Amino acid sequence: MDDDKILFFAGSADAIVDELEKIRQGSQARINATPENVESGLAKLVLTLIELIRKLIEKQAMRRIDGNSLTEEQIESLGETLMKLEKKMEELKKIFNLTDKDLNLDLGPLGNLL
């Protein structure tokens, strides 16, 4: 960018360059499916979608807690269900050798899925 286009900036360019470098590295993450790794590529896609649904369920649960609409019994049951769901996800990630970082999709201008 031409210097004359920067009308105001009093900060440090280094910090911004660092953050932009992180974005650049993040944007290189793609589902790279080939005949040899198609299974793990598919697992990554499916687990990402399951993780999205799990997080939505979690969010909805927090809203219900906020709304104070759950009984003691329902609270206990909710906690147990969410905990088991999270454990199951951890197991599946281990089976397919995936980390939390892998479970995301770059949706271009819309940003990341998670």
Partner 1 sequence: MTTLYALLESRLIDGNLIALLQSLTRESGEAFELVTAAPLAAIIAHPSASSPPISRELLLHYAATVERLTEAVSLLPMRHGSTLPSSAEVISMLQLNAVSCIDALKRVYNKAEYSLRLFASPEQQKNAISAGVDGDNSLPEALQGETQNKRYLAEKYRVHLAEEHHRQYIETLKSRLRKDLGEVSLDIEFKKPLPSGFIADMVLLVERNSKERLRSIVKNIQSNYPEYDVILTGPWPPYNFSQIRMQ
Q: Which residues contact 45 (CB under 8 A, 6 or more apart)?
A: 31, 105
Region near partner 1 per CB under 8 A, out of 14-22, 32-40, 45-53, 95-103:
14-22
Q: How far is the CB of 94 from partner 1 (least distance, A)?
A: 20
Instruction: Considering the complex, state which of residue 39 and residue 80 has its C-beta at the smaller distance from partner 1.
Output: 80
User: Site residues for partner 1, window 21-80 (CB under 8 A)?
Assistant: 22-23, 26, 58-59, 61-62, 65-66, 68, 70, 72, 75-80
CB neighbour burial string for 95-113, b if at least 16 within 10 angstroms, e if fewer: eeebeeebbbbeeeeeeee
Q: Which helix (H) or strand (E) holds 50?
A: helix 38-66
Q: Rounded CA gap, 55 and 104, in Å?
A: 12
Binding site for partner 1 (CB under 8 A): 1, 5-12, 15-16, 19-20, 22-23, 26, 58-59, 61-62, 65-66, 68, 70, 72, 75-80, 82-83, 110-112
